[in-house]
A and B are shown apart, each in its own frame.
Chain A
Amino acid sequence: MINQLVLVREWHPLVLILIGLIVGLVVYVIYRLGNPSFKETRYKREPFLSGNVSPGESKALHIGGSNLYWGFTRALKKYFKPLVGAHTGIVNDYLYWFIITIAIVMVVLYFV
């Protein structure tokens, strides 16, 4: 009965969760086998910020917001510039798009 309840065309979430639990258990066992007295020593020094002084726990460290994917957007600038430009915010342009879509769909439906 459980199968009928949960199975969606070969996708069985409970099996996945079961596997997750088992893997978690194994990882936990390996963690417990570790030697608790091991001191984390290797990365004791400060991260090398190419010589700059690290600003510490301040807000400056937190790269967030819109410039997180700046590389991605800069690389695809040729694609993003017209796309973002199309969102002009003017009501008339929105209505153009509405009329253009009706025209295109009407032509496609008529001829094909």
Chain B
Amino acid sequence: MNIDIVQHSPALILAVPLLFAFLTPIVARISEKGRDAIFFLGLFIMAFFVSVMAYEVYTVGGWSYVFGGGTVTPNGTGSSFFRILFVADGISAMASITLTISAIGAAIYSYKFMEHDTGLNKFNTLFLLMIAGVNGMVLTGDLFNLFVWFEVASVSSAALIAFKNYEGEAVEAALKYMILSVVAGLFFLLSIGFLYGQYGVLNFQLLAENITGTNLDKIALTILVVVLALKAGAVPLHFIIPDAYSMAPGSVTAVLVVASQAGLWVLFRVVFTLYGLAVNTFTLGWIVIVLGILSMFIGVTMALVQKTVKRLMAYHAISQTGYMLLGVGVGLAVLGQPEMDIYGRLAMEGGIFHIINHAMYKGLLFMTAGVIIYETGKRKLDELGGLGHSMKWTMVFFMIGALAIAGIPPFNGFASKLMIYKSVYSFNPLLSIIAMVVSILTLASFVKVFHSIFMGPKDESVSKTTEAPKPMLLGMAILAGVVILFSLFPGLVVSTIVEPAVEALGVIV
């Protein structure tokens, strides 16, 4: 009974968090310590399987894993005609790596962050369920299975948003997040119906082979693009994101950022592999670019006028998502044309590299905001001031995150933004200029936050604040370490992680 771990790693990446999520209530009855041990054990075993899968994908190449099927056929045909199929390729490997790093950082951070709250076994279960949901959304190669994991991720993240109750506002944010996710899920179900009705197949690869651009396919594509843009937080649909990020507990927001980026990963997989050249990619590319530009500009201008820390950072998450949409939108616009090799591939690499960069420094920033609220209990920028004197480490982490998000040269934000600027400039100079202006405005708003929180005289009302407890600093240190690692060796990251992801977009393994 030799179990080939490598071959089964996609399934085990899902099974382990789910198993430990459901074990938590039982173990919690026996001992509180046991429950936290189970929580971290589950995360580290999942991290092991993610690294095994990623190593296999980057050395040998992707494969697809059929649940309950007879043998694991390399290209997923044969008996897997009607079975649920997981695809382990460049995209899922990179997305799982992003999720694992921020999940481990957030888990260590939340060990101390959540200690004043009751009902912690529910928190652990929901946290693991959200991770399983996001991993499922990214790994799956089956359209309806994608809907199931989309709902699992939405339900668990809505419940986590409503976990800490700030006089009912958190519940309101969770309710809105849930209503929109459910309505979007129903439209998603409609588009699954359109595609299944026409082609009788739900599997990404077989659908991609026989999709022709009929009108019904265009309607299904529109619904898929808009639903996934809603999950990712592009501008006309971004309204739930600021409420959700600002009301969720600090550690949950770091993973929530990756959960909405899973919407982006799936959007790229749908647009590139499922539809590819069956639809007029120039217009589709321009639609994604317009979504990106809107998200960038409106996200940052809204952030400038914000009054609370987390809401400001939430709007920045939206504007950074605009960068990713812009990068990959340019790649999509020139798909199939010769320019693809000149700047299209570079734009896609920049967009996708920006996803993992953003997940790292945005998680870091939200954790610093969480520390400030954990220590002072105040959320509004006007009431905070002079915290730099007592919170040295948090200030250092905040500066690393703020410089990275603003795209200051040595940091990883700049590496991916430079790739986007260069390639988008040769596609259309105006877009690149807008991107640079938005980057300057991002820096402006983070200077505002830094000044109003950390600088200024030592305030008596917040004088008793001490530095954040050790686990929270460790959680932030992990993410800051990854940010610094990516900023020192961008070439390494691009060649090992980002290029296979761009390769995987073109062809389903």
Contact = CB atoms under 8 A, between A and B. Distances in A.
A97 B243 CA distance: 16
Given A11-B415, A62-B386, A83-B302, A97 B236 contact: yes
A105 interface: yes
A11 B490 contact: yes
Nearest to B213: A109
Task: Give chain A's interface secondary structure class.
Answer: helix
Given A80-B305, A97-B239, A102-B223, A16 B409 contact: yes
A96 B434 CA distance: 28
A80 B385 CA distance: 26
A90 B18 CA distance: 35
B195 to A, nearest CB: 16
Interface string B255-299: 000000000000000000000000110011001000000000010
B152 to A, nearest CB: 21
Interface in B446-485: 448, 451-453, 455-459
Interface string B289-324: 000000000100110111100000000000000000
Nearest to B218: A109
A87 B380 contact: no
Contacts of B305: 66, 69, 73, 80, 84
Interface in A9-30: 9, 11, 13-14, 16-17, 20
A66 B306 contact: yes
Given A98-B184, A105-B287, A68 B448 contact: yes
A42 to B, nearest CB: 24
A105 B229 CA distance: 12
A108 to B, nearest CB: 6
Contacts of A7: 491
A8 B508 CA distance: 27
B304 A72 contact: yes
Interface in A30-64: 57-59, 61-62, 64
Interface string B215-248: 1001101110110011000001101101100000
A13 B287 contact: no
B489 A6 contact: yes
B385 to A, nearest CB: 5
Contacts of A72: 304
Nearest to A56: B457
7 contacts: A9-B346, A17-B488, A59-B459, A62-B455, A65-B384, A80-B301, A105-B287
Interface of B: 175-176, 179-180, 183-184, 187, 215, 218-219, 221-223, 225-226, 229-230, 236-237, 239-240, 242-243, 279-280, 283-284, 287, 298, 301-302, 304-307, 346, 380-386, 409-410, 414-415, 418-419, 422, 444, 448, 451-453, 455-459, 487-492, 494-495
